[in-house]
Amino acid sequence: MPQWGMVIDLDRCTGCNACVAACHAENNLPIAGEEEAAKGRSFHWIRIERYIEGEYPNLKTRFIPVLCQHCDEAPCEPVCPVFATYHSPQGLNVQVYNRCIGTRFCANACPYTVRHFNWFDPRWPEPLERQLNPEVSVRTKGMIEKCTFCIQRIRKAADLAKDEERPVGDGEVQPACAQSCPTDAIVFGDLSDPGSRVSKLASQRRAFRLQEDLGTQPRVIYLKEGSE
């Protein structure tokens, strides 16, 4: 059984936000709007964090795309009273929308603040409501949602592989963020296969995980700058 994971090479990330836009389009993310965003109710399953070092004009900007880390020891999972979030055998931290009753305990427990609550029924400015992805449900008011590693794409690849009686190949599943990244900074694949591209990148010396000291064991591995 594949163990899905992601590598993000921060040396390649230019902070262009293409992944954010692609994620919105793929996963039917509502547009929060200026007013709600100012109240901290913005909606992004993946966001680009920006760190500016130095004083003008000698600035250096660093970017970190932050998405659900699909932690092996996820703090969001044990706090859910209705088991709407659980760990799948393939290592995904999964949110079952129709089970969610909106306690928001998981969002409070998440150290990466990647879980978002639907305060309202979803809204899209015209004509964006006509481009919803039929393979992803439209979440309604009162539900928590977050990055799924584009599980609909994983499901599709697994379905095709099953028909052809073979395992899912390396690079066959590409989440929307990885697909849209112009610098190829985001790589997705099976961490349990030592030959996969994602495993090779993750074993580099420059690999690290966000807030590693918390012991959450994230499935998203970042690569800092420098040589292998």
Partner 1 sequence: MTRARRHLMYGWMTALATLGSVAVWHSRGKPLEQPIAFSHRVHVVQNKIDCAYCHEHFRRYAVAGTPSVELCVTCHSGLRTSNSEAKKLFTFWEKRHEIPWVRLHQLPDHVVFTHKRHVRAGIACETCHGTIGQSDSFVREVDHSMGKCVDCHEQRGASIECWTCHK
Strand 85-87 and strand 186-190: pairing?
Answer: unpaired
Q: Rounded to an integer, what is the distance from CA 145 to the centroid of its chain?
A: 11
Question: For partner 1, which residue of 99, 123, 141, 224 counts as binding (CB under 8 A)?
Answer: 99
Q: How far is the CB of 32 from partner 1 (least distance, A)?
A: 22
Beta carbon nearer to partner 1, 3 or 137: 137
Triad 185, 188, 192: Cα angle to 5°? 130
Binding-site string for partner 1 from residue 130 to residue 149, where x marks contact by CB under 8 A and - marks none: -----xxxx-----------
Q: What angle do CA 139, 140, 146 make, to 5 degrees?
A: 40
CA distance 194 to 222: 18
* # of chain residues touching partner 1 (CB under 8 A): 21
Q: Restricting to residues 50-89, name those near partner 1 by CB under 8 A.
A: 82-83, 86, 88-89
Query: Is the Cβ of residue 63 or residue 105 nearer to partner 1 in the bound state?
Result: 105
Q: Which stretch binds partner 1 (CB under 8 A): 48-56, 93-101, 166-174, 202-210?
A: 93-101
Q: Residue holding tokens 């790589």? A: 187
Minimum distance from CB of 89 to partner 1 (Å)?
Answer: 7
Asked if 94 is part of the footprint of partner 1 (rule: CB under 8 A), the reply reads yes
B/e letters for 129-163, b = 16+ CB within 10 Å, e = fewer, are eeeeeeebeebeeebbbbbbbbbbbbeebbeeeee
Which residues are near partner 1 by CB under 8 A? 82-83, 86, 88-89, 92, 94, 96-99, 135-138, 151-152, 155, 159, 162-163
